A and B are shown apart, each in its own frame.
Chain A
Amino acid sequence: MSKAFKELGLDAAPLAGAMPAFCASVPAAELRGLCEQARARKARLVALWGSDETDRRAGYALHLALGFPSGLLWASVPLSREDPHYPGIADIYPSANRMQRATADLLGILPSADADRRKWLRHGAWPEGAFPLRKSVESAARFAQGPDNYPFVPVRGEGVHEIPVGPVHAGTIEPGHFRFSIVGEKILRLEERLGYKHKGIEKRFEQMTLEQGAKLAGRVSGDSTVAYAWAYAMAVEGATGTEPPPRALALRGILLELERIANHLGDLGYLGNDVALSFGFFQFWRLKEDLLRIQAQLFGHRYLMDAIVPGGVSKDLTGTAGESLAAHLARIEGEVATLKSIYDEHAGTQDRFIMTGQVTPELAERMGLTGLAARASGIARDLRVDYPIPPYEQLDPRTASHVRGDVAARVSVRFDEVFESIRLVRALVQQLPPGAIRAPVAAAGAGARGLGWVEGWRGEVLIALETAAANRIHRAHPHDPSWQNWPLLEHAVHGNIVPDFPLINKSFNLSYSGTDL
């Protein structure tokens, strides 16, 4: 499989773990060449982050995760301690822009001078020139709160004015700032400013053992706790050579699909609410509440937090629990089918959904849209289908997709995925393998690497992990698919009216916490 990487002139070594992955070291001078060739071979940028290697008598490193058809390439670019610069790649992979800026804010690793060097995660909580993720910054360090002064891009012209929204929004939503430049009701430009929820998750990981990190990983983005916990467990298992038992993998599949169903039900309700069909909100949130209560009963937590742990799972399905779950899902399936036909036939609802907030397949491909939103814009990618590892290999999961890329398409993908996930859970419950649900996690030496890569409900969640001595964490980078999709929201609203923004935003439903870290 590493032949594809040989053609790129890379000496890529396979990385142990559940997903097909490879590691390679790339000199900074060859970074752009690699990215250009990868892009030409249809590889996508999954994540970009940095690390401080000065405590290992090296400098810094920039890391890229590139998704090739044959697997994930973890490319590391060593950078000097004195001058940690690299050539920026945002012109090749546009989604790299904000990741490069976040890496610069946290570690002082800078892209070349022609790159966008505006700050991203840094507001006023630490000053310019301080880099909190560097190892030399103690975890007890505090900085004086300073001014923010973020340089928004102004739009000028006759009749153009701005609407600043947030960070505290009008609804129950995570905080972020949206700067609209509008003419009349029409949106000319939207500029997002995020980072408000930055609470030092990556620094916190570095104070933890591999075991403790699982709980934190499950709280990077609360609505995707299962996806993150699985990705983290996969990374730890890869780094330590731990093999989770087959029953645990089947249970993880059940948990991940339940998370997908619950989130889609909630979103379908809110999408009805945002077009004034409050009937839809109440119906879908009733179904979601029913599901959450069953989850609490069977797995001990409404959102399934801490159910996946390194080595396996913490909760088993025993006795008739599996059957009652399947029966419950059958009831939800029937009700969702009824609600789908009501949504489909409701003229007012469809009028608001169709051709609103469109992202064309061409734009999606160019900008690197991912996950659920990408599947609604003609990019039929899904890790469960593209790299079918257990428990998905036997289930033949189907990818939901649509080509119009509007709110209606993202609604349609959600409906399809609810039905498909219910089918998957039912199949998994029926063929649940016997045996243990948890294997002991082997000890890891310093410098062991592991990758976790999971198709969460929103898209692909990645955890890149490197161990320190005594089962501690040297570096853990959690990556949310929202990094790729937030910039597309700015495009999706062009030419739409301001009152449609909440609807378009909800149709993506991106994570703030997952990208602010």
Chain B
Amino acid sequence: MYQLLKQIAKTGIVTEPAPLPDAALRALEQRLGQLILKHFGRALAIRHVDAGSCNGCELEIHAMNSPYYNLEGLGIKFVASPRHADMLLVTGPVSRNMETALRRTWEATPDPKLVVAIGDCGCTGGIFGESYASCGRVSNVIPVDVAVPGCPPTPAAILQGILTAVTPGRR
């Protein structure tokens, strides 16, 4: 136990300042009112859905949970069910085998809700494109508020996308 406490003390706090929102990432106009955003901005519950990615974007979502980003300190929490979520964070081109599951997850998320598409595949279909097995971009299946490009986007870029979605403003 002594060694564990010593390691914690030695490490200190490594958290870095959060990025600022960037309206250029918006795919849709902000639909939510000031009052809702004020609440979302303080306590945002996110459900991640991998709709067919290569798993690269998941690596960066995991990395965003590292102490460098202190998500919970920003009021952001990943939750286990879409029924508890305010926002869906969706990665991948949507495989046709995940199309129904993604739609159902979206329907299970209570209104008002936000969708952030992550990565080049989520934004455009990426290298996998559209095919017999792939629906391509996330917005081909559910409405997307903010799209974050990158292969994969860095944790800071993903966080910026999330913060953009809960900020008032136009594109």
Residues of A within 8 A of B (CB): 123-126, 132, 137, 139, 141-143, 145, 167-168, 170-175, 195-201, 203-204, 215-216, 219-223, 225, 266, 270, 279, 282-283, 285-286, 288-289, 292, 302-303, 305, 338-339, 341-342, 345-346, 511-513, 516
Contacts and interface: CB of A to CB of B under 8 A. Distances in A.
Interface string B47-63: 01111111111111111
A346 B3 CA distance: 10
Contacts, number: 163
B83 to A, nearest CB: 12
B58 A123 contact: no
Interface in B1-33: 3-4, 7-8, 11, 14
Given A175-B101, A282-B66, A286-B11, 16 more contacts: A123-B97, A139-B131, A172-B65, A174-B50, A196-B52, A196-B95, A204-B127, A222-B54, A222-B55, A225-B56, A266-B62, A285-B65, A285-B66, A286-B66, A292-B63, A342-B3
Contacts of A126: 132-133
Contact of A222 (B56, B68, B98, B134): B56
8 contacts: A143-B132, A174-B55, A175-B101, A196-B52, A199-B52, A286-B11, A303-B56, A345-B3
A145 B132 CA distance: 10
Contacts of A339: 7
A513 B129 CA distance: 16
Interface string B95-130: 111111100010000000000000000000011110
B160 interface: no
Contact of A168 (B11, B78, B95, B101): B101
B140 interface: no
Contacts of A286: 11, 14, 66-68
Contacts of B61: 172
Given A199-B133, A283-B7, A219 B98 contact: no
A201 to B, nearest CB: 7
A289 B66 contact: yes
Contacts of A145: 96, 99-100
Given A200-B128, A204-B131, A285 B67 contact: yes
B8 A279 contact: yes
Contacts of B98: 167, 175, 196-197
A199 B67 contact: no
A132 B96 CA distance: 13
Contact of B128 (A199, A225, A282): A199
Q: Which of A139, A266, A282 has the most CB of B within 10 A?
A: A282
Q: Which of A137, A197, A279, A305 has the most CB of B within 10 A?
A: A197
A330 B93 CA distance: 39
A156 B8 CA distance: 50
A107 to B, nearest CB: 13
> Chain B interface: which size bin?
35 or more
B70 to A, nearest CB: 10
Given A172-B61, A279-B8, A292-B63, A200 B56 contact: no
Contacts of B49: 168, 175
A231 to B, nearest CB: 15
A209 B148 CA distance: 29
A225 B49 CA distance: 21
Given A125-B132, A199-B131, A200-B131, A512 B55 contact: yes
A175 B50 contact: yes
Given A173-B50, A200-B132, A222 B97 contact: no
Interface in B76-98: 78, 80-82, 92-93, 95-98
A87 to B, nearest CB: 29
Contacts of B78: 171-172
Interface string B135-169: 00000000000000001101000000000000000
A289 B60 CA distance: 10
Nearest to B133: A200
A86 B70 CA distance: 56
A120 to B, nearest CB: 11
B101 A125 contact: no
B147 to A, nearest CB: 19
A285 B62 contact: yes
B101 A196 contact: yes
A380 to B, nearest CB: 28
A197 B128 contact: no
A122 B65 CA distance: 34
Contacts of A279: 4, 7-8
Contacts of A141: 132
Nearest to A302: B154
Contacts of A197: 50, 52-53, 92, 95, 97-98
B55 A513 contact: yes
A270 B82 CA distance: 23
B124 to A, nearest CB: 14
B48 to A, nearest CB: 5
A201 B48 CA distance: 23
A234 to B, nearest CB: 20
A338 B59 CA distance: 25
A204 B53 CA distance: 15
A125 B53 CA distance: 17
